Amino acid sequence: MQTYFRTLVLFILVFAFAQCVFGQYIYWGNANTTTIGRANLDGTSPNQSFITGCTNPLGIAVNAQYIYWTNGGGTTIGRANLDGTTPNQSFITGCAYAAGIAVNAQYIYWANVASLGRANLDGTSPNQSFITACDTPGGVAINTQYIYWAEQIENTIGRANLDGSSPNKAWIAGCSGPVGVAVNDQYIYWANASGTLGRANLSGSGATQNFITGCTSPQGVAVNTMYIYWGNAGSNTIGRAFLSGSTPLQNFITGCDGPSFPTPVGTPTYIELLDFHSEAKEEYVLVTWETATELANAGFQIWRSESKDGEYTQITGLLIPSQGGSTWGARYEYRDFAVVPGTMYWYKLEDIDFQGNRTFHGPVQVQR
């Protein structure tokens, strides 16, 4: 019953999961246009023109204050406030058709046509030739030790020390037009433009080029605590799957225009519900449910109505506390004694996260 999830680091950035600062969104570059898109983290309310005036935007990076992007059709890196205001399309200049971008607490890193660049986080002291032992880098990822990049023409993944020393542009071989790369403390992931996502151990061993299949020219790969995302440039959609690679959804977000380097920000609230039903007993109605996983879940409430589409009333008093977690689930039951024989009832299950966000499941029907 357990589903195992791994915490990954985004292909083109290192990001924090502070919902109170970032909100829960996913950003992407519409590389065929002049815009950056944004949607809620669950894929709803997509805005394809969240930021305008860009030049074929590709890489996206986010920190606690700003959103950064590469203007792949030009020579600059842009920056705006997190709400999209005050965009500066020339925050860093002198780039060469920059693609992926990554940030940490001190520096901004990006991929030029034949080099990797680096600047201070405020945009000063740009070095367009921070690493030159690369040919056609696409995506960039960093952790506390290394910087990684995708070599699109060489069909390899490169790696160097974070200070730029000891570069190895063929650290992982056998890729197929790799564009994006992401790392965590166990694995490295990349997007093959041929239509798959690859994965290897962080040591570089055990590489598989077909970790997820069925993509269409994936441009970049990104992750959060539950999902892996990618931009399907060939079908103008953003895909999503569980971190295990299961349940891939190629049309998670539609209506994009050359989506590249999707960037999720915030912790997703998700209840993987295995079962929810109600059963009439002699003196009460038994409401039961079972979860496979519960992420950032505070607990549950039960709501009841005498018609499916009627008004529902909360019948639980105190919150039923969560017993599950991000890698395990739990079984629950509630006994509703305030029922009348011969009456039809409908029940909804409500889960509530630690920030007060609420999600309803059901309804389920029973006749007492």
pLDDT, averaged per 10 consecutive residues of the chain (368 residues), comes to 26 29 77 94 90 96 93 94 95 96 95 97 97 94 95 97 97 96 87 96 96 96 86 96 89 96 75 90 95 88 93 94 89 96 94 81 87
Give dist(CA 57, CA 31) in Å, integer. 5
Other Cβ atoms within 10 Å of 86 Cβ, number: 9
In this prediction, residue 16 carries a pLDDT of 28
DSSP codes, 181-226: EEEESSEEEEEETTTEEEEEETTS-S-EEEEE---SSEEEEEE-SS
Site of tokens 């997509």: 46
Which one-letter amino acid corresponds to residue 293?
A: T
Please answer whether residues 229 and 26 qualify as being in contact, where contact means their C-beta atoms are separated by less than 8 angstroms.
Answer: yes
Please answer whether residues 250 and 232 qualify as being in contact, where contact means their C-beta atoms are separated by less than 8 angstroms.
Answer: yes
E strand or H helix that includes residue 20: helix 19-22
Give dist(CA 66, CA 78) in Å, integer. 10
In this prediction, residue 41 carries a pLDDT of 82
In this prediction, residue 266 carries a pLDDT of 67
Q: Enumerate residues 6+ apart whose C-beta is below 8 A from 308.
A: 346, 363, 365
In this prediction, residue 137 carries a pLDDT of 95
Give dist(CA 47, CA 232) in Å, integer. 17
In this prediction, residue 74 carries a pLDDT of 87
Between β-strands 47-51 and 35-40, what pairing exists: parallel, antiparallel or unpaired? antiparallel
Q: φ and ψ at 165, to 5 degrees? A: -80, 160
Closest to 115 measured CA to CA, from 167, 156, 69? 167
In this prediction, residue 87 carries a pLDDT of 97
In this prediction, residue 237 carries a pLDDT of 98
Structural domains in the chain plus CATH codes: 8-265 (2.120.10.30), 270-367 (2.60.40.10)
Closest to 17 measured CA to CA, from 41, 37, 45, 36? 41
Q: What Å distances lie between residue 285 and 146, 333, 335, 343, CA to CA?
A: 57, 10, 6, 11
In this prediction, residue 244 carries a pLDDT of 85
Other Cβ atoms within 10 Å of 151 Cβ, number: 25
Cis amide linkage into residue 321, ω under 30° from 0: no
Give dist(CA 10, CA 15) in Å, integer. 7
Please answer whether residues 179 and 220 qualify as being in contact, where contact means their C-beta atoms are separated by less than 8 angstroms.
Answer: yes
Dihedral sign, Cα of residue 161, residue 167, residue 169, residue 173: negative
Closest to 216 measured CA to CA, from 198, 200, 230? 230
Please answer whether residues 132 and 43 qualify as being in contact, where contact means their C-beta atoms are separated by less than 8 angstroms.
Answer: no
